[in-house]
Amino acid sequence: MRISELFLSIQGEGLDIGLPTVFVRTAGCNLRCSWCDTTYALRGGRELAIEKILDRIKKFKCWRVCLTGGEPLMHDEVTLLIKRLLARGYELSVLTNGSLPLGPIIALDRSRNLHISMDVKCPSSKMHREMKFQNLARLRENDQVKFVVNDLRDYAHARRILKRYRTRATVIIQPVWGARGARIAEAVLRDKLDARVLVQMHKLLWGPGARGR
């Protein structure tokens, strides 16, 4: 499996924000978002056997793992890695860009230790037409759906999607780093949108360019 980086850090996004987590970042992605903050993971990386990945995770002595990218669901080996992590009792979150089917991955979760964090791309990303909106209905109460929002046009798009496609997942509105987040938060309050507004905490702690954080 081609891995860009594997490290221990603080979860900077979503419902687990602030919690120590081992990150396994796969290399390669099928999308090219205009504001992507991990462009170094679009290519390169190095091949690691599943057992090697598991051994490196174990050394951190942390039972919370985040599988991210790039796009982890592009990799054929991801199913085996998820199975092995769940079998070992890890609490696992999988971050995915919303363009690939989730059904096969969710079907692996018999322990309820697997949490999906799915993006829905907005117009500023230039990738909003690549989404599989049927995924929204598959998400469960322990999952989350994240809209990365650059401006009020993006926010209006997010509202339209939420009205059209129902989901049981927690909704997160995440301002693009450097965007005017206060305006977006005020719009959420004005519209009484049932969503969390969260910024990327790891960038507040270590800066926007830090790798391995």
The conformation of residue 59, written as its DSSP 8-state character, comes to H
d(CA 49, CA 59): 16
Q: What is the per-residue pLDDT for 209? A: 72
* 134 — pLDDT class (breaks 50, 70, 90): very high
Please determine, for residue 18, whether its predicted confidence score (pLDDT) is greater than 80: yes
Is 37 among the domain residues?
yes
Is 148 among the domain residues?
yes
Please determine, for residue 148, whether its predicted confidence score (pLDDT) is greater than 90: yes
Neighbouring C-beta atoms of residue 144, cutoff 10 Å: 23
Is 152 among the domain residues?
yes
Is 116 among the domain residues?
yes
d(CA 183, CA 149): 11
The pLDDT tens digits of the residues spanning 35-71 come to 999 999 999 999 999 999 999 999 999 999 999 999 9
d(CA 55, CA 112): 23
Question: How large a percentage of the chain has pLDDT more than 70?
Answer: 100
Is 135 among the domain residues?
yes
Beta carbons of 176 and 124 less than 8 angstroms apart? yes
> CATH no. for residue 146?
3.20.20.70
How many folded domains does the chain comprise? 1
Q: Is the pTM of this model over 0.75?
A: yes
Beta carbons of 11 and 17 less than 8 angstroms apart? yes
d(CA 188, CA 55): 43
